[in-house]
Amino acid sequence: MKQVVLGGLLALLLWSGLTAPVAAVDNAQLQAINQSWSKSAHALAEVNCSSCHQPQSAKQVIQQPTHESCRSCHEGQVDTFLLGKHGIRLLEGQPALTPALAHLPMQAAVHDKQMNCNACHDAHSVKTLPASVDSCLTCHKDNHSLNYKNSRHAQLLQEEGVLPRPSTVSTTCATCHLPRQTSESGTVMVNHNNTYTLLPRDRMVKEVCMNCHGMEFAYNSMFDDDLVESNFARPPTLSLDTLKMVRTLETQRSGNATSK
Amino acid sequence: MAKTQKSFFSFSTLFNVRNTVILLCLILMGWLGAAFALDHKTIFLPGVTSNGHILFEASCASCHEGFKPVTNETCMRCHEAEMATDAHGPKKFRDLRWAAELEKLEVLTCTTCHNEHVHMFDRGVHLKPDLCMICHEGIIQGELASHKDFSPDGCWTAGCHNYHDHRTISTGFLRQNMGQADMLPKPALPERSFKPELKTPPQPDLGKEFVGGRA
């Protein structure tokens, strides 16, 4: 019975998709979209409207392309996105994640925002700079996120001014939680699995912090809850016992070495 | 007895114990069946799902193939990348030097240590607090006497050791990187290199289809 109802609904959906007008876009909106696109990296890479809205596999115009359209060019990015909390519901065939479903504090105004590629990236303008901080702060309202703007990391980004995309000097939300990785073939890709470099913190030390910071500085920062909450507003004051133990061990070993 | 038979159709026999039990069973079956058919499968959950899995806990098939136990393959479908550097993986225990350890704890399957829908500890996975001690207690009492007074669950709850990823918490790694400056000389994140092929953008296509057009 359920299958019959579902089948009926699906048929209705397909039928309406085939006959309904493509989109309620007026000329002014289309002009704005075209203009934004013509200045984008997509345009210069010959990714035209039809590349996403009417790919060869589709019979009709796709009004709202999904991550599958992006995937045809950005396979690694989409695949990693689907493994993180942002995308896992799509991977499992469930409706997209919305901030309403999150356990972390989220901005109330966007509780129904659907988490897909377009949630962070405007596919028409293709700018990775907004996607590196602003897109995150559209939804996230926890202290760590809100304190980013007061951090030394944010200052570095600001000092650099408007960039086409965050440079290796600036440190954004994405630098730590969606870091660039070089594959074996040498291609640079952003790992879009937002939970891959999040926890446990010691993995972040190796994967992210130590790209710029020394080991002890990184450990003493990452294991100070207050410092993480303040988004690293000050240099670390912690002095981990683990590090002291390794120092003691080192002295013992060098002591033994000299006595021999 | 005779009295009961006489009043077979009476109101009181209709609600005797047997009939009530049958009725309750039917209600229960109906309720469970409806929950299953209407996709409210969360009522079958035996407990709280971990933070990591809660977002798709309603799609049982993500982890459970029918009523079979969860396999390594189901876990690895999502966690392959994290496990690429697994120091305690099956590969280690297939090495004859460590194979005997399997008699203490059968660590070839994820579910030996991790359980879902049960009480969770800090790192988002269920672990019995003193799992490390099953194999490492001897070492701590001997060679690593410096660890003697530590609590058995402290290995990982204190943030010092990571069972699967040893890369940063080995003594060797810490020794090697002791005394580094707070800021390393150069950020090591790779620079992205995208070079567009065109100098001027082409004409946008599909304009007609979007302004009042039909597919």
Surface of A (210-249) touching B: CB under 8 A: 210-217, 223, 235, 242-243, 245-249
A204 and A120 Cβ atoms separated by less than 8 Å: no
Percent of residues, chain B, with pLDDT higher than 90: 10
- Percent of chain A exceeding pLDDT 90 equals 62
Residue of B nearest to A183 (CA): B190
Residue B213 confidence (pLDDT): 52
User: How far lies B126's CA from each of A192, B110, B184, in Å?
Assistant: 26, 11, 37
Is pLDDT of A25 > 50?
yes
Contact B206 A175 (CB under 8 A): no
Partner B, chain A 115-144, Cβ-Cβ below 8 Å? none
Pairing of strands A188-190, A180-182: antiparallel
Decide: helix, strand or coil at residue A230. Answer: coil
Interface probe with A: pick from B177, B193, B195, most Cβ of A within 10 Å: B177
d(CA B63, CA B73): 9
More confident residue, B40 or B206: B206
Q: What is the mean pLDDT of residues A33-46?
A: 92
pLDDT of A8 reads 60
Q: Does A114 touch chain B (CB under 8 A)?
A: no
Given a cut of 60, whether residue B197 has pLDDT beyond it is yes
- Which span out of A26-35, A228-237, B48-57 was modeled with the highest average pLDDT? A228-237
Comparing A4-18, A46-60, A234-248, B150-164, the range with the smallest average pLDDT is A4-18
Q: Tell me how far apart the alpha carbons of residues B203 and B205 are, in angstroms, rounded to a whole number.
A: 6
pLDDT at A180 over 80: yes
Up-side HSE of residue A44: CA atoms within 13 Å toward CB? 13
Please measure the distance between the N-terminal and C-terminal CA atoms of chain B and give it in whole angstroms: 78
**Averaged confidence pLDDT in chain B:** 81
Q: Which of A22, A101, A206 sits opposite B168 (nearest CB)?
A: A206
Amino acid identity, residue B72?
N
Question: What value does the mean pLDDT take over residues A233-256?
Answer: 87
CA distance A194 to A139: 14
Q: CB B214 to CB A22 under 8 A?
A: yes
* pLDDT at A19 > cutoff 50: no
pLDDT digits (tens, 9 = 90+) for B130-185: 788 888 888 777 777 788 788 877 887 777 788 888 888 777 889 899 999 999 98
pTM for the model = 0.83
Q: What is the pLDDT of residues A228-240, one digit of tens each?
A: 999 999 999 999 9
Identify residue B108 by its one-letter amino acid code: L
Is B215's pLDDT higher than 60? Answer: no
**Mean of the per-residue pLDDT values of chain A:** 87
For A176-183, what is the mean pLDDT? 91
- Return residues 98-127 of B near A (CB < 8 Å): 123-124
Q: With an 8 Å Cβ cutoff, are B184 and A214 in contact?
A: yes
pLDDT of residue A220: 94
Residues A9-27: what's their mean pLDDT? 56
A196 and B211 in contact by Cβ < 8 A?
no
Distance from CA of B18 to the nearest CA of A (A): 32
Distances (CA, A) of B210 to A13, A161, A260, B215: 20, 36, 83, 9
Q: Please, what sign has the CA dihedral across residues A215, A218, A221, A224? A: negative
Instruction: Note whether B204 contacts A34, CB cutoff 8 Å.
Output: yes
Most confident range (mean pLDDT) of A49-53, B14-18, B112-116 is A49-53
pLDDT at B1: 46
Q: Does the pLDDT value for residue A204 go beyond 50?
A: yes
A65-111 per-position pLDDT tens digit: 999 999 989 999 999 999 999 999 999 999 999 999 998 999 999 99
pLDDT tens-digit profile of A145-158? 999 999 999 999 99
H/E/C letters for each residue in chain B?
Answer: CHHHHHCCCCHHHHCCHHHHHHHHHHHHHHHHHHHHHCCCHHHHCCCCCCCCCHHHCCCHHHCCCCCCCCCHHHHHHHHHHHHCCCCCCHHHHHCHHHHHHHHCCCCCCHHHHCCCCCCCCCCCCCCCCCHHHHHHHHHHHCCCHHHCCCCCCHHHHCCCCCCCCCCCCCHHHHHHCCCCCCECCCCCCCCCCCCCCCCCCCCCCCHHHHECCEC
Show Cβ contacts of residue B165 under 8 Å, excluding neighbours closer than 6 positions.
A200, A202, A203, A206, B82, B85, B86, B87
pLDDT of the residue at B149: 81
